[in-house]
Amino acid sequence: MSSHPAHSPSKTTAYVPSNSVFKEDIFRGKVLFCTGGGTGICQKMVEAVMRHGASAFIFGRRENVLHLAASALSTDTLQRCSYAAGDVRSVESLEKAVAKCIAEFGRIDFVISGAAGNFLCPIDQLSSNAFKSVVEIDLLGTYNTVKATLPHIKASQGSFISVSATLHYYGTPLQAHVSSAKAGVDALSQALAVEFGPHGIRSNVIAPGLIGDTEGFTRLSTPESQKTILKNIPLRRFGTRGDIANATVFLFSPAASYITGTILICDGGEHHTRTPASFGDSDPTKQDLNKTKKPSSKL
């Protein structure tokens, strides 16, 4: 019988840094291009790849945030990190960023499509513009990133990772916009894997569950809903940004050389157990949703 209480995670499920498993130089000489890499989960993904020897180029909308992130990433990892500001909804903006990346680093080996937007809203209150904005950022943004970087990934026989979610595996209230966008991201990644596998290119998806050390976790959930959801996670803990970073290192590494067209779900098993009751309200459309929007959000 296990000595661990039923409500506590086993020590074997706790997060450990990737450099305790993988060699620190496995990505030496490689270059990562990442959208959304200035904050949150994607910044941690970039950091992990850099800690294994890669240089990085991050892309996002806020130049001041990117400047600070690139400086911190370089200082923390002792690797080079550059950036460009722009909008993933504009393929021209991405093409300029990719050109800058090539001018500075000479190649691109890995691509992370991570730019995203989210808020809670019932369908009857969701404007067409808000729905369109999320789909354009998440899905069109991923497509534009692939289009802009694909010639260079073909040259390096590199690898794509798209950041998705688990919301669309079942009907998730208040998330129709994001669920629709992420379902498209999954389909796009799989088509990319099949079309360009013969060129030596791999394409996979990482689908995070609830990641506790993020701004979105705090904004989109309440202490009450967190308690309910935690009971439904078989590993009995919320994920961390480091968990997603570890999955990134694995999928980009030679250890995953025969893995493509796959969705790697990182949610502690929650997608097997979630029910409508997980959301803690018999009528989710009656929730106060004002606090779930970022103060600066235009959606």
Question: CA-CA distance, 203 to 161, in Å (whole number)?
Answer: 6
Closest C-alpha among 106, 261, 141, 250 to residue 198 = 261
Q: What is the pLDDT of residue 299?
A: 53
Question: What are the residues whose beta carbons fall under 8 Å from the beta carbon of 164, sequence distance 6 or more?
Answer: 182, 185, 186, 189, 205, 206, 207, 263
Q: How far apart are CA 38 and CA 62, in angstroms?
A: 9
Q: What 3-state class would DSSP assign to 4?
A: coil
| Tens digit of each residue's pLDDT (9 = 90 or more) over 127-168 | 999 999 999 999 999 999 999 999 999 999 999 999 999 999
* Whether residue 156 lies in the annotated active site: no
CA 124 vs. chain centroid, Å, equals 28
Residue 286 pLDDT class (50, 70, 90 cuts): low
Residue 63 has pLDDT above 80, yes or no: yes
Which residue type, as a one-letter code, is found at position 245?
A
Q: What is the rounded CA–CA span in Å between residue 228 and residue 216? A: 17
Query: Has 182 been annotated as catalytic?
Result: yes
Q: Which domains does the chain have, with CATH numbers?
A: 23-268 (3.40.50.720)
The number of beta carbons lying within 10 Å of the beta carbon of residue 175 is: 24
* Dist. CA 6–CA 264, nearest whole Å: 26
pLDDT surpasses 70 at 175? yes
Helices (H), the chain: 40-51, 63-77, 91-105, 128-135, 141-156, 176-196, 215-220, 223-231, 241-252
Q: What rounded mean pLDDT belongs to the chain? A: 89
Which 8-state DSSP code applies to residue 239?
B
Answer yes or no: is pLDDT of 75 > 80: yes
180: confidence class by pLDDT, cuts 50, 70, 90: very high
pLDDT at position 89: 98
pTM: 0.88
Q: Catalytic residue among 182, 189, 203, 253, which?
A: 182
Provide the pLDDT for residue 277. Answer: 45
At 3 the pLDDT is: 45
Q: What is the pLDDT of residues 202-243, one digit of tens each?
A: 999 999 998 887 777 777 677 887 888 888 899 999 899 999
Q: What is the pLDDT of residue 242?
A: 95
Q: How many helices (H) and strands (E) does the chain have?
A: 9, 7
Q: Which residue has the tokens 């157990």?
A: 273
Nearest-10 Cα torsion for 155, 257, 163, 82: -50
Given 55, 93, 133, 164, the catalytic residue = 164
